[in-house]
Amino acid sequence: MTPTEASDAGLRHLERAVELAAEALRAGDEPFGSVLVGADGQVLAEDRNRVRSLADRTRHPEFALVRWALDHLTEPERAATTVYTSGEHCPMCAAAHGWAGLGRVVYAHSAAQLTTWLTELGVPPSPVRCLPIQEVVPGLEVYGPVPALAERMREMHRRFHRPADTGTDTGTGTDTGTGAGMGTGAGA
């Protein structure tokens, strides 16, 4: 698998992460979603961003999957997992991923792409610097972005931060306290 390719099964899991991001957006949260998959290809857990809806800036889906994995999986089982996520992890989620010993990460859009998109939208910088996952967890196997899904995610972020431009009111405006290195979760 190359950084821009995924197997059919992997692509389905990544598409599910993007669907979870859309669920987050519909709920008024920044669009991030993540799916934890075991070595056998079975979905073990999934979540979406809940930063706004739960008023907790740590409620990134990647962080929720780390918590779940620590409660339910052995160390070898955690190492054999794959996290499929709509956006590259923020530093908080990357660190949690590394400390928990989870396996590889496959993401739809990169932290650098998110930073560019938010800058283009005029969103003020996050209080936490956006970094590639491997700067936080050296040696972690990471794949992404996936261009077709990245474009879908770009549109979701535009809808979240500029709802007046799309005729869609998410009731969110430009909230930068939600985390994925820049915005929220997936990457966070």
- How confident is residue 167, by pLDDT bands cut at 50, 70 and 90? low
- State the first-to-last Cα distance of the chain, in angstroms, to the nearest integer: 23
What pLDDT score was predicted for residue 165?
Answer: 65
DSSP per-residue letters across the chain: --TT---HHHHHHHHHHHHHHHHHHHTTS-S-EEEEE-TTS-EEEEEE--TTTTT-TT--HHHHHHHHHHHH--HHHHHT-EEEEEEPPPHHHHHHHHHHT--EEEEEE-HHHHHHHHHHTTPPPPSS----HHHHSTT--EE---HHHHHHHHHHHHHHH-HHHHT---S--S--TTBTTTBSSS--
Residue 185 lies in a domain: no
Residue 176 lies in a domain: no
Q: In the chain, how many domains are there?
A: 1
What pLDDT score was predicted for residue 51?
Answer: 97
Residue 184 lies in a domain: no
Give per-residue pLDDT as tens, 114-140: 999 999 999 999 899 999 999 999 999
Residue 28 lies in a domain: yes
Question: Is the separation of the CB atoms in 158 and 166 below 8 Å?
Answer: yes
| Partners of residue 112 on adjacent β-strands | none
What pLDDT score was predicted for residue 185?
Answer: 39
Query: What's the whole-model pTM score?
Result: 0.86
What pLDDT score was predicted for residue 170?
Answer: 44
- How confident is residue 95, by pLDDT bands cut at 50, 70 and 90? very high
- How confident is residue 182, by pLDDT bands cut at 50, 70 and 90? very low
Question: Is the separation of the CB atoms in 62 and 109 below 8 Å?
Answer: no
CATH number at residue 103: 3.40.140.10
Residue 188 lies in a domain: no
Residue 107 lies in a domain: yes
| Mean pLDDT, the chain, whole residue set | 88
For residues 59-68, average pLDDT: 98
- How confident is residue 8, by pLDDT bands cut at 50, 70 and 90? confident
User: What is the C-alpha to C-alpha distance for residues 108 and 11, in angstroms, rounded to an integer?
Assistant: 10
Tell whether the model's pLDDT for residue 174 goes beyond 60.
Answer: no
Residue 55 lies in a domain: yes
Instruction: Give residue 136's domain range.
Output: 8-166
Residue 173 lies in a domain: no
